[in-house]
Structure 1
Amino acid sequence: MVKEKILIVDDEESLIKVLSIAFKKHNYYVHEATSAKQALKILEQEPIDVVISDIKMPEVSGLDLLEKVKKNSPNTGFILLTAYASLDSAIKALRSGADDYLTKPFEVEELLIRMDKVMSKYRVQREADYLRSLFIKGGKKIVGLEDGLKEVADKLRKAAPVDATILLQGESGTGKELLAKLIHQWSSRNKGPLVTVNCAAIPETLLESELFGHKKGSFTGANADKEGLFKIADGGTIFLDEIGDVSPLIQVKLLRAIQEKEITPLGATSSIKIDVRIVVATNRDLKKMVDKNEFREDLFYRINVVPVYIPPLRERQQDIINLAEFFVDKFS
């Protein structure tokens, strides 16, 4: 198995050594840099799976490094570290493309857990990119929709024009995001926005503000009003990926958004009406989570209006032949 590569960037050499030892024990290949400039030289020479960088560094900051990395290599994961935490800087980091944000001091085990999540995300992203390559002529056809995924496609074509909430269930890498895009294209809302939210990738402390927005002064660092993603998706579709990972607090607010078709930004005294089609996805068994009191039963029934199971490729043997033929044609 090929070792995944990490680049640690921090002007504290002692911290680099501690993290390097920990990651090597978990079978990662580790590169080290004490400045953003040194990190960029390494990135020019070597493909890196995830960069872990301090924000505050001399000459070139971690945010500047993040911008350069994401511009040149969008599928490289990025985790920012900082000793100067504020919600405003966290939101800025995530909106700049960071996959996660951790405040110093932290437990190494916590960073390892977050690292694993980011690594998993990009493993899935690589498979998703592969699935996107199966689009033919502007997405009018996807390899598999007429064979192994025919039943799924037929169900989605019927459900797409109706504003019912759709729950996409399947393993990571089965193309749930791709199918959410098709639902939007096939719906009457296809002229409106499609907003995609990976609920597992946004820390719980930020997810509420990202989804529902906030008012100026509602918390430290809230220097201006901010529209939430539900409002940004108004008139279109919002796709909530990894819905099984949201906290009980967010579950309550999502339930209200679905039931009442309205949201209340953080710090607001009144609610805002929204007109949004909701598509959700998960790789978890929500029914079992409900039985264990890990997921709200009322929310489950609200999102389980049109349940769609997406079988993995191993259950669609005909598609393996179709994919092989597709790539032979494409690259010959």
Structure 2
Amino acid sequence: MAEQTTSKTLLVVSVNTDFAEQLELAPGLREFDIFRARTNEQVISWFDRQRIDIVFLDFENFPPQEINLVDYIKRRSAHTEVVVFTTIHELDMATTALRSGAALYLIKPVATEDLRAVLKKLSGRLQRGEEYLE
């Protein structure tokens, strides 16, 4: 069974270590327990062991079929908010990601202030969801 935590969790899915490190060092992320995954198998493993609140999914080096990962995450954990990051300006990919349940589809680079705004918005959604369930 997945371990329960009191702080919010952020899973950064990226083969780009610079992107993951940038996120870990960004102000405003310190309230999150941050985990990393580089493969689908690692993502599945994290969901087996841990409640994940937000996923930052970097599609930069993933083939387009990896969009199914959004669907997997949302089926596995409906409360999890997924944000897709990419350098690809592809309307079909964005539409598929959003229809699969991604909260946002962002084109990189994304400014640190914008990351903080995204996390604030998603944290609010998570908080409202938790209050609703109580």
TM-score by length of 1: 0.36
Give 2:54's match in structure 1, choosing from 43, 50, 53. Answer: 50
Distance 1:88 1:108, change over 3 A: same
User: In the alignment, does 2:107 pair up with 1:124?
Assistant: no
Give 1:1-332 correspondences, 5 Å limit.
2-22=6-26, 26-56=30-60, 57=62, 61=66, 63-130=67-134
Q: How far is the alpha carbon of 1:59 from its aligned partner?
A: 9.6
Distance 1:75 1:25, change over 3 A: closer
Rounded Cα–Cα distance in structure 1 between residues aligned with 2:21 and 2:58: 14
The answer as to whether partners of 1:20 and 1:30 remain within 8 angstroms in 2 is yes
Rounded Cα–Cα distance in structure 2 between residues aligned with 1:66 and 1:92: 9
Figure out how many residues of one structure are paired with residues of the other and give that number. 128
Distance 1:7 1:105, change over 3 A: same
The answer as to whether partners of 1:8 and 1:30 remain within 8 angstroms in 2 is yes
**Identical counterparts, % of pairs:** 26
> RMSD of the TM alignment (CA)?
2.1
Tell me the secondary structure at the aligned position of residue 47 of structure 1. coil
Tell me the secondary structure at the aligned position of residue 11 of structure 2. strand
Rounded Cα–Cα distance in structure 2 between residues aligned with 1:27 and 1:126: 17
Distance 1:24 1:60, change over 3 A: farther
Q: How far is the alpha carbon of 1:91 from its aligned partner?
A: 2.3
The answer as to whether partners of 2:29 and 2:116 remain within 8 angstroms in 1 is no
Q: Which has the higher contact order (CA 8 A, sep 6+)?
A: 2
Q: Which amino acid aligns with 1:85?
A: H
Distance 1:14 1:32, change over 3 A: same
Which structure's CA Rg is the greater one? Answer: 1
Q: Which runs of 5+ in 1 are unaligned?
A: 131-332
Structure-1 residue corresponding to 2:3: none
The answer as to whether partners of 2:64 and 2:93 remain within 8 angstroms in 1 is no
Tell me the secondary structure at the aligned position of residue 26 of structure 2. helix
Cα deviation digits, residues 75-96 of structure 1 (max 9, x gap): 0111111110233322221111
Cα deviation digits, residues 31-57 of structure 1 (max 9, x gap): 011222212211111111101001351
Rounded Cα–Cα distance in structure 2 between residues aligned with 1:24 and 1:4: 12
The answer as to whether partners of 2:54 and 2:80 remain within 8 angstroms in 1 is yes
Q: Which amino acid aligns with 1:65?
A: L
Q: Which amino acid aligns with 1:123?
A: Q
Q: Which runs of 5+ in 2 are unaligned?
A: 1-5
Rounded Cα–Cα distance in structure 1 between residues aligned with 2:116 and 2:17: 19
Distance 1:25 1:101, change over 3 A: closer
Rounded Cα–Cα distance in structure 2 between residues aligned with 1:34 and 1:75: 22
Q: Which amino acid aligns with 1:87?
A: L
